[in-house]
Structure 1
Amino acid sequence: MIVGTAGHIDHGKTALLEALTGQAGDQRREERERGMTIDLGYRYAALTPGAPLTGFIDVPGHERFIHNMLAGAQGIDLVLLVVAADDGVMPQTREHLAIVELLGIARALVVISKCDRVEPQRVQEVQTQVSVLLAAGPYAGAAPFMVSSVTGEGIEPLRRALLAAQSEVSQRSREGGFRLAIDRAFAVAGAGIVVTGTALDGRVQLGDTLLLGKAGKPVRVRGLHAQNQPATEAHAGQRVALNISAERLQLEQVHRGDWLLAEWLHAPTQRLDIELQLLASELRAFEHFSPVHVHLGTQDVTARVALLQGEQLLPGARMFAQLLTNAPLQAVHGDRLVLRDQRAQRTLGGGRVLDPFAPARQRRSEARLAQLQALASADSLEQALPALLACDDGGLDPQRLERQFNRLRSSWQLPANAQVIATRQGPLLFTREHWQALQNSVLEGLARFHTQEPDQLGPDRDRLRRFVALALERPAFISLVDELLAANRMSSSGPWLHLPEHRIRLSDADALLWSQLQPLLVDGAFDPPWVRDLAKALSVDEAEVRVLLRKLGRLGQVHQVVRDLFYPEATIRQMAAMLLQLASDDPVVQVAAFRDVLGIGRKRSVQILEYFDRIGLTRRVGDRRQIRADNALAQSPGQ
């Protein structure tokens, strides 16, 4: 169990921990000289002989050091809210209480300290103050412990209450990737760099490789302490010290606020969707796009808050919001955070992370708000999945869900109606009903295209995607079309897609002319005759040749590379195969290399490559080309 203190400056938090643990703690010289806690302090003690060690985190009470208090409060299981009997409830009492409530710390023990300094009547007055303070929150009705760290009054009952709480604290899940928010980093002679923090998720073992900081620098765990004891393994819910090493790793590169993460979990983000709560004590509404400080884990970054359900958030109210941070954060679903004002002088509210990888577009759309509602209503991935699938049109990315919920795919079950669709950029999840509806929509759209363009054989994949206007990214749409083709519900002629029963037939005159044109185009190989040359060779009108070849282009039998220059389908596939062969040796193909294998001039080679760019076989990179593997010609170039 990890116990943290909270309360106003000079209310006896440090003295209370010394009385409970018998340890003076690790105060710094400046703290001893000034007689106040400035940074986080740590102690470990068994509450009774033979009991597991309890970790205690002492936090500063001065308003100037709230940022340090926030770094220590993340990850604690129980808070000791300390109120001095002589002072009573003070400003930082209220602010610390608001913070621990915003962080969702479920358990609290309330301590009225310094009872030896005042009369019993004063203790009763402070007890009433505390009761009123707690009345509207999760700790309402908590009976305070009357304590004196000087005389020892009340220490044993408090210790017994802590021991009882220790047996009741729920074990944190050890599933998922390891996450540790670093709150200290220092060098140990002969060992190297040591970092400490509370393990929030997962487990870590000696020899593991973790990723450090926003850059994701790989480090190896050389040594390990859990709850201040040497260990070979540590897990969520423990205070952990890790001796880490990496090539050229310097202490100056490691800071409070950095994360140590399992390798697969590292995913820095600067756009997060949250459920935001504004403190009821705020005097005015919170405005859309206000600047704030965000405290998450041990990080403190500045950000803007985009409200998603209005232009203002009233005191005490909740609303979905999007954080746009000025520096990368690491977060998973369910993480708690605290927002302070732009000057970091006042706590405004806080929230719970719903989606650490929030979209930049359509963030206020009805569909997106439905997704956020599903995420807000769920405590686990399994609870969220059915609703997420029901309101997501474009498919869910399992890898993104793994990082969003810190759950590897092997550890969670799909709903019975879920279907995994393989795409060239990885699998996506749909409900079977939705995937079938998408297929039907594409077929209906293709039928409309045939009605609107009766003289065309059909569109290519990209034109069909634009025509049907579904909320599918290109890889998912290509997979959908491939399924329809495999099931013979759709046909293709070259790059053109059409319904199986759809045909365009040539008239007898057109068929005769084509029988004369085709040999000339085939004989021309990679440098076929222009329309004017074809017309001259056959002594026919140039316009007649042009009209027929364009019709044949719509049938997928020829391709117009530039105006009045047509290539047979077989020749296009042959040139595509030659280009793919070049790309197998070097993924970026030079114009000169393509020119040499075709044996034609540079100008014509460039025209052919520009045509391949237009139909999506290649992507231009400077003066070179890269193959797009999802193009139909890239799948079966020789056919």
Structure 2
Amino acid sequence: MIVGTAGHIDHGKTTLVKALTGVDTDRLPEEKKRGISIELGYAFLDVPEVDGHTAPRIGFIDVPGHERLVHTMLAGATGIDHALLLVAADDGVMPQTREHLAVLSLLGLREGAVVITKADRVDAERLAAVRAEALALVQGSSLADAPVLAVSAHSGLGLTELRERLWAAARAHAGRNDRGDGAFRLAIDRAFTLDGVGTVVTGTVHAGSVAVGDELVRMPGGQRVRVRSLHAQNRVVERAEAGQRCAVGLVGLAKDEIGRGQWIVAPAAALATDRLDASLTLWHDEAKPLRSGTPVHVHIGAIDMPGTVAILDEHGVSGDPGPATDRLMPGATARVQLILRSPVGAWHGDRVVLRDASASRTLAGGIVLDPHAPTRYRRTPQRLAELAALALPTLDERVAALIDAAPNGVDLNRLAAAQGQPLSALQARPHKPSTTHSHDGWALGSSQSEAARQALLAALSRFHAGHPEELGPDTARLRRLALPRLPEPLYRALLTGLQAAAQVLVRGAYVHLPEHGIQLSATEERLAQKVSPALAAAGYEGAWVRDLARDAKESEPLMRVTLARLAQRGELVQVVKDLYYPPATMARLCAIAREVAHAHDGEVTAARFRDATSLGRKRAIQILECLDRIGLLRRVGDVHRLRADSQLYRESGDDRDDRQTRTAVIRAT
């Protein structure tokens, strides 16, 4: 359990921690000289055995109390489990007492105590007055039910009771720590070097566990590092867990490459964002509402990042049936989007606190709902439904509700990272039976799957009605016609399901309804078989109608009509007028185009394709223009770019044989 002190400057935070633990957390020369805390300080307290059972050590974070150092206080406060709000008996409640209470409340801390320090300096009447003042202060805050204890670090008054309360809280906390199942995340609040160890970072473990030898990722940045050594709760360990203060010795990172505000995380949780959606509550003592566009300081993890606020909900008070507004009223809660100056690490459920633009006042606090916030359509009913799903209390509920709310499916890899979970944690959840499609890390709800099937079949019917002479659209074109926003893996799975159910037929890359087809006459069938060897032997140069007619001793008009019918059936490819290729040859040309594109950042030029095929420049250009028309490539200036969604002649696994190329379909218009 991590205990954090809070309170006004010179109200005895450091002295109390020393009295409880024996450790002076003021370690800097400037702190010793001035007698105040400037940086975060750390100490630890062992918990005695009870009935043979021990609880983990208690870690203390001693935060500065000066008004100019609230940002440092926040860097430590976001990782604490139990708060001690200190009020000096001689001073009473002071400005930073109020602000620190606001911070603790906005962070959602409900466990803690109000500690009246320096009780030996005042008489009983004054002590009773300060107690009443403290009780009045916490009313309406998250610590409203916290006990109020009077102590003296010098005389020892009340220390035994406080220590025993902390021990009891630590034992209870150890039995219900629910943060250990996620991917490892540590918010860095210090970085330094040690001889023989190298770079060391310290912070609070927010989730998961880590062991010596594990590979982690620095976020933001994405740099891979390895764990060389671990200290948890000030002890050498082989494994550290959520809720502990941890020092991590790292391999692969210099001290000047990492610092406060960054994270080290398991690869499964690696993400950084400069735009996140959150549920936010404006502090009830604020005099004015919070408006969209307000510049703020955003505190999340151990970082302080400038940003702005956009109110997403229509009403300033949750559930208020009044007129739409872009204001969040004092004491109200609403969903907002935070737009940050630079990327930060943030995950679902992380606490966030806002201070004003001058960093002089704490304004609001809440929790992150989605670190992958959209730039567009952020206030639509669809998006707000997704945020409502993400606000549900358990992971199972969130995943199931989000899949039900998402018309175009859910990227489970992206969702898992945002939830701070490995993908396997989502795939093992009981939401899977309710989904019709789960493919390549995507999931689509059952009702959405049925709607997508109907949309695809309707689009095919419209295409056949408008283009009766054509076999059907290629798969990429059909997706653009019917389901342009459906992710490609889900579209492929949907099409495969329709094909298996015989609701559509697929010839290579072209799709048509079973009742739609182009029939050949007996003469055309005979002629097709007669010229098939010549077409295959033509190679990358292709075969001309006149040459095929001459060699087959058939009339040129009949040959032209027959080859055009074969192209309409998807059994030949017409590159330019009267120039044809069999699918097997076109498959090899498409494979070459893909290889060229993959070797040159997705781009294919006429010169590179010419060299790769040993064709002349004119023929290379004709083929590339054909590939543009049928959807494998897209012309951009003087280059042709590979379309990522095109499945034309794509080979995979056991399908890399002539069977696939014989059934592949490309039609040039």
Match of 2:496 among 451, 466, 482: 482
Aligned to 2:618: 603
Contact 1:224 1:243 in 2 (8 A): yes
Separation in 2, partners of 1:396, 1:224: 37
1:455 CA displacement: 3.7
Deviation at residue 367 of structure 1 after TM alignment:
1.5
Range with bigger deviation, 573-582 or 206-215 = 573-582
* Residues 420 and 260 of structure 1: CA distance in aligned 2, closer, same or farther (over 3 Å): farther
Counterpart position of 2:510: 496
Q: Deviations over 1:353-409 (max 9, x none)?
A: 11111222322121211111111122x321212211111111122212221222223
Specify the code of the residue in structure 2 equivalent to 1:155: L
Write out per-residue CA displacement over residues 194-225 of structure 1, whole angstroms, 9 at most, x where no aligned residue: 21111111111122222224222222222221
Tell me whether 1:632 sits opposite 2:648 in the alignment.
Answer: yes
Letter in 1 for 2:59: G
Question: With structure 2 as the length reference, what TM-score do the two structures score?
Answer: 0.85
Q: Which residue number in structure 2 is paired with residue 27 of structure 1? A: 27
- Report the residue type matching 2:221 in the other structure: A
Q: Provide the residue aligned with 2:213 in structure 1.
A: 207
TM-aligned CA distance change 1:510 to 1:581, over 3 Å: closer
Give the stretch that moved more between structures: 87-96 or 45-54.
45-54
Report the equivalent of 2:302. 298
Residue type of the partner of 1:184?
A: R
The answer for the alignment partner of 1:289 in structure 2 is 293
CA distance in 2, matches of 1:523, 1:12: 92
**Structure 1: distance between partners of 2:96 and 2:76:** 15
Letter paired with 2:33: E
Q: Does 2:430 correspond to 1:414?
A: yes
Q: For 1:329 and 1:381, locate their aligned partners in 2 and report how far apart those are by CA, in whole Å.
A: 23
Q: Give distance in 2, aligned partners of 1:625 and 1:386.
A: 38
Q: Distance in 2 between matches of 1:276 and 1:550?
A: 64
- Looking at structure 2, the residues matched to 207 and 619 of structure 1 have their Cα atoms a distance apart, in angstroms, of 46
Q: Quote the offset at 1:437 in angstroms.
A: 3.4
Partner of 1:17: 17
Equivalent AA in structure 1 for residue 44 of structure 2: Y
Higher mean displacement: 233-242 or 208-217: 208-217
Q: Distance in 2 between matches of 1:7 and 1:493?
A: 73
Aligned residue for 1:634, secondary structure, equals coil
Q: Which residue of 2 aligns with 1:575?
A: 586
Say which SS state the counterpart of residue 43 (structure 1) adopts: strand
How much has 1:457 moved relative to structure 2? Answer: 2.8
3-state SS of the aligned residue for 1:402?
helix
Rounded Cα–Cα distance in structure 2 between residues aligned with 1:175 and 1:30: 41
Task: Trace 1:433-472 onto structure 2 (pairs within 5 A).
Answer: 433-469=447-483, 471-472=485-486
Moved more, 518-527 or 71-80: 518-527
- SS where residue 367 of structure 1 aligns? helix
Match of 2:412 in 1: 398
Instruction: Find the residue that maps to 2:177 and give its secondary structure.
Output: coil
- Counterpart of 1:198 in structure 2 is 204
- Assess, with a 3 A threshold, how the Cα gap between structure 1 residues 596 and 145 changes in structure 2: closer, same or farther: closer
Distance 1:327 1:273 in 2: 15
1:63 aligned onto 2:78: no
- The more displaced of 119-128 and 86-95 is 119-128
Letter in 1 for 2:190: R
Q: Structure 1's 506 and 158: CA in aligned 2 closer, same or farther, altered over 3 A?
A: same
Distance in 1, matches of 2:142 and 2:39, equals 27
* CA 1:22–1:197: 2 relative to 1, 3 Å: same
How far apart in 2 are the matches of 1:598 and 1:185? 56
Distance change (3 Å), C-alpha of 1:623 and 1:467: closer
Q: Does 1:225 align with 2:234?
A: no
Aligned pair 1:41/2:28, yes or no?
no
> 1:532-564: CA deviations, max 9, x gaps?
x999x99999xx9999987775554554545xx
Deviation at 1:182, TM superposition (A): 1.0
- Within the candidate set 267, 271, 275, 1:267 is matched to 271
Q: Which residue does the alignment assign to 1:189?
A: 195
Contact 1:573 1:633 in 2 (8 A): no
Change (3 A) 1:371 1:523: same
Q: Is the 8 A contact 1:47 1:159 kept in 2?
A: no
- Identity among equivalent pairs (%): 42
For 1:154, the aligned partner's letter is G
* Structure-2 residue corresponding to 1:377: 392
Structure 1 residue 138 and structure 2 residue 179: aligned?
no
Q: CA deviation at 1:316?
A: 1.4
Unaligned 5+ runs, structure 2: 315-325, 652-659, 664-669
> Which of these residues, 328, 336, 359, is aligned with residue 374 of structure 2?
359
Contact 1:475 1:630 in 2 (8 A): no
SS in 2 for 1:633: coil
Describe how 1:237-252 pairs up with structure 2 within 5 A: 237-246=243-252, 249-252=253-256
Does the CA-based 8 Å contact 2:138-2:144 persist in structure 1? yes
Amino acid at match of 1:326: R
Equivalent residue for 1:429? 443
Contact (CA 8 Å) 1:283, 1:315: kept in 2 or not? yes
Q: CA, structure 1 residues 417+567, in 2 after alignment: closer, same or farther (shift >3 Å)?
A: farther
- Structure 2 letter corresponding to 1:474: E
Q: Is the 8 A contact 1:420 1:427 kept in 2?
A: no
Mapped to 1, the partners of 2:572 and 2:582 lie a distance apart of 9
Distance 2:595 2:200 in 1: 47
Q: Of 468, 473, 476, which residue of structure 1 is paired with 2:487?
A: 473
CA distance in 2, matches of 1:348, 1:375: 24
Asked if the contact 2:545–2:560 (Cα under 8 Å) also holds between the matched residues in 1, the reply is no
Indicate whether 1:104 and 2:108 are aligned: yes
**SS in structure 2 at match of 1:610:** helix
Which range is displaced more, 143-152 or 367-376? 143-152
Change (3 A) 1:374 1:586: closer
Q: State the Cα distance separating 1:517 from its structure 2 match.
A: 11
Paired residues of 2:476 and 2:647 also in contact (CA < 8 A): no
Distance of 2:467 and 2:12 partners within structure 1: 82
Rounded Cα–Cα distance in structure 1 between residues aligned with 2:532 and 2:231: 79
Aligned to 2:79: 75
Q: 1:313 aligns with which of 328, 353, 365?
A: 328
Q: Shift in Å at residue 330 of structure 1? A: 1.5
Instruction: Give the match's secondary structure for 1:141.
Output: coil
Gaps of 5+ in 1: none
Indicate the residue corresponding to 2:320 in structure 1.
Answer: none
Give distance in 2, aligned partners of 1:353 and 1:86: 39
Check the 8 A contact 1:332/1:353 in 2, yes or no: yes
Tell me, yes or no, if the aligned pair for 2:262 and 2:344 is still in contact at 8 Å.
no
In the TM superposition, residue 297 of structure 1 has moved relative to its aligned partner by 0.8
Contact 1:61–1:92 (Cα < 8 Å) also in 2: yes
Q: Return closer, same or farther for 1:73/1:571 CA change in 2, 3 Å cut-off.
A: same
Segment of structure 1 superposing worse, 549-558 or 230-239: 549-558
Q: How much does 1:63 deviate?
A: 1.0
Does the CA-based 8 Å contact 1:579-1:594 persist in structure 2? no
